[in-house]
Structure 1
Amino acid sequence: MRALVIDHAAPTHLAMAEVPDPVPGPDEALVRVEAVSLNYGEVADAARDGAPDGAVIGWDAAGVVVRPAADGSGPPEGARVTTLGHTGWAELRAVPASLTGTVPDGADPGAAATLPVAGLTALQVLRRLGQVVGRRIMVTGATGGVGRFAVQLAARAGAQVVAISRDPASEAALRALGADEVRTAAADVRGPVAGVVDNVGGPTLVDAFAALEAGGTLVNVGRTAEAASVLPTDALNAYGGRHDRSIRTFYLLGEPVPDFSGDLSWLAAEVASGRLDPGIVRRAPWTRHEEAARTLLDGRLRGKAVLDVE
């Protein structure tokens, strides 16, 4: 089969190649991939020589089950699915039922492919913030894949959403997604927030943490700033209503790996119905992967990049 593999001689460290078909385990379905989406972390890791030449990578992929799991778990043959794993940028992928969500018939596979990392991450992080109805929630990096989903889901849950984007031109789009306030920097936010979904790290994390009210939580998801988060000496002082604040790390595929099948299926239904915007801003055949990866690495992407597998 064909796949996108690591090639450190290529400009974006990705190239098309022939690789062996995957061999599913007893609890894994074989899926014919129709579309994949790119995430900053996996593309950046490839560019940093983080994987050997010839390795198939890719977290997000949507397609059709061509061989159900031998143990009877998961969706049947012919089911349309969205899947999460580590080797998705290929014509075929083997994936367990716990990382597979069903997609409504007729739904766009490209839209479904945006969900596994970005949609699940936004959903899981908001749950870590606890009850958000009527509370003020900050989302940094709000125009990115996770950020866009977090703005929408937080607004749907009844939060007052403060969206942070360094691009002033994104204000109208973020308000359309449900943001109540839009700022170009976390330091510009006036008044405390109850929780933060931080997709940026670096100085933005420091400023967002300073905005937390007592008992507030910041969950760091991404570090696109690629800079250190240096807290000032008084950042952890607990007086003046600043007590019990916390910074939490996040990893989607912890141990044991959670069963995300229900959440993926729900997200897919929300996107298919039009109640959730996948935010696809670049779409092309997967043979044009290089320009999509370069745009992502350059920080010029305000949403999701999708590649259709031909």
Structure 2
Amino acid sequence: MRALTIDHSAPGHLALSEVPDPEPASHQALVRIHSFSVNHGEAAFVVPNGEEGAVPGWDAAGVVVRAAADGSGPAPGTRVLTLGLGGAWAELRAVDTELMGTVPEGADLGAAGALPVAAGSALRALRRLGPILGRRVLVTGAGGGVGRFAVQLAARGGAHVVAATSDPAKGEALTRLGAHEVVAGDALKLVEPVHGVIDVVGGPQLVDAYAALAPHGTLVAVGHSSGVGEDFPFGALFGDAGRHDRSLTTFFLMDDANGLGADLDWLASLVARGELDPQIGHRDDWSRTGEALAALLAREVAGKAVLDIPVTAAAV
């Protein structure tokens, strides 16, 4: 099969290569990939630092060509979205059946491929906040992939959504997605107290967002797109002056994957019904994945970047 592999001698550290087909374990299905999405973490960390010859990629959607040997998961011919720590940027992928969701007939596989990491992280991070109906929820980095899903899902859950973005031009789009307030990232110190925070930026914004938490509030650190650390001033973690019992927790989707397949089913059904916008800001042939990664790093993509793999006659 063809796959994009890590090649540190190639431009952008990627090369389109011929590699052996994957051999699924008994709990894995073999999926022919039609589309995959790329994430900021892959662009910033996975590709530049990956092992030579490895096939990267977390998110992909396609069609099952061989069911899992243990009887779990979908039958051949089922349209699916898939998640894993690698292997998505290829014509074939072996996938754990518990990390797959079904895609309704007629729905765009490219849109489904945009969901697993970004929408899955947004959904499960929001659950860490507890009940959000009628409560104020702040989303930092709201203009990015995870942030746009977090805004939509928080609004769907009945929250009053405060969207923080470094780009004021994204304000109108975020309002359409359900944000009730849009603030600049450097204005977080002025935000009224919130019940919960979904932070995908890290650095000083995380520190300011934590300061905005009301008593008993929770901040979930989902991403670290700023690339800088957090420096809490003395007193920021004191429990006096009404600042008691506030929580800060880290999050990693692959360590919170129990039952994720059902969540992916639900997210794909929302997209199919037009109730969740995948916000695809860049779409191209997979031969141009390097350009998509560069655009992500340059913050030129509004939402998700999706790459399509042409299905050859031999593969049908």
Pairs within 5 Å for 1:30-109? 30-49=30-49, 51-85=50-84, 86-109=86-109
2:78 and 2:190 mapped to 1: Cα distance?
46
Aligned to 1:301: 301
> Cα distance, 1:46 vs. partner?
3.1
CA contact (8 A) 1:151 1:178 kept: yes
Aligned to 1:178: 178
CA contact (8 A) 1:3 1:90 kept: yes
> Cα distance, 1:47 vs. partner?
4.5
1:12 equivalent in alignment to 2:41: no
Pairs within 5 Å for 1:1-310? 1-49=1-49, 51-85=50-84, 86-185=86-185, 186-254=187-255, 257-310=257-310
- Residues 16-63 of structure 1: CA distance to partner in whole angstroms, max 9, x if unpaired? 1111100011111100000000011112113442x2111001000000
CA contact (8 A) 1:198 1:220 kept: yes
CA contact (8 A) 1:22 1:92 kept: yes
Q: Which amino acid aligns with 2:215?
A: A
CA contact (8 A) 1:13 1:46 kept: no
Aligned-partner SS, 2:12: coil
> Cα distance, 1:72 vs. partner?
1.1
> What is the TM-score of this pair, normalised by structure 2?
0.95
- Residues 268-305 of structure 1: CA distance to partner in whole angstroms, max 9, x if unpaired? 00001100000001000001111101001112222000
CA contact (8 A) 1:136 1:159 kept: yes
> Cα distance, 1:169 vs. partner?
0.6
> What is the TM-score of this pair, normalised by structure 1?
0.97
Gaps in structure 1 of 5+ consecutive residues: none
Aligned-partner SS, 1:52: coil
Q: How many residues align?
A: 308
2:77 and 2:47 mapped to 1: Cα distance?
36
2:94 and 2:161 mapped to 1: Cα distance?
38
> Cα distance, 1:230 vs. partner?
0.2
2:189 and 2:16 mapped to 1: Cα distance?
44
Aligned-partner SS, 1:207: helix
Q: Which amino acid aligns with 1:92?
A: L
Q: Which moved more, 1:83-92 or 1:293-302?
A: 293-302
- Residues 114-152 of structure 1: CA distance to partner in whole angstroms, max 9, x if unpaired? 111001100000000000001000000001111000000
Q: Which amino acid aligns with 1:14?
A: L
Identity %: 57
> Cα distance, 1:189 vs. partner?
3.7
CA contact (8 A) 1:14 1:46 kept: no
CA contact (8 A) 1:6 1:46 kept: no
> Cα distance, 1:188 vs. partner?
4.7
2:71 and 2:291 mapped to 1: Cα distance?
40
2:183 and 2:203 mapped to 1: Cα distance?
17
Q: 1:189 to 1:269 in 2, by over 3 A?
A: farther
- Residues 53-94 of structure 1: CA distance to partner in whole angstroms, max 9, x if unpaired? 110010000000011111111011100000001211100001
CA contact (8 A) 1:183 1:189 kept: no
Q: Which amino acid aligns with 2:167?
A: D
CA contact (8 A) 2:8 2:48 kept: no
> Cα distance, 1:240 vs. partner?
1.6
CA contact (8 A) 2:47 2:56 kept: no
Q: Which amino acid aligns with 2:251?
A: F
Q: 1:47 to 1:64 in 2, by over 3 A?
A: closer
CA contact (8 A) 2:195 2:217 kept: yes
Runs of at least 4 residues of structure 1 off by over 4 A? none
> Cα distance, 1:11 vs. partner?
3.0
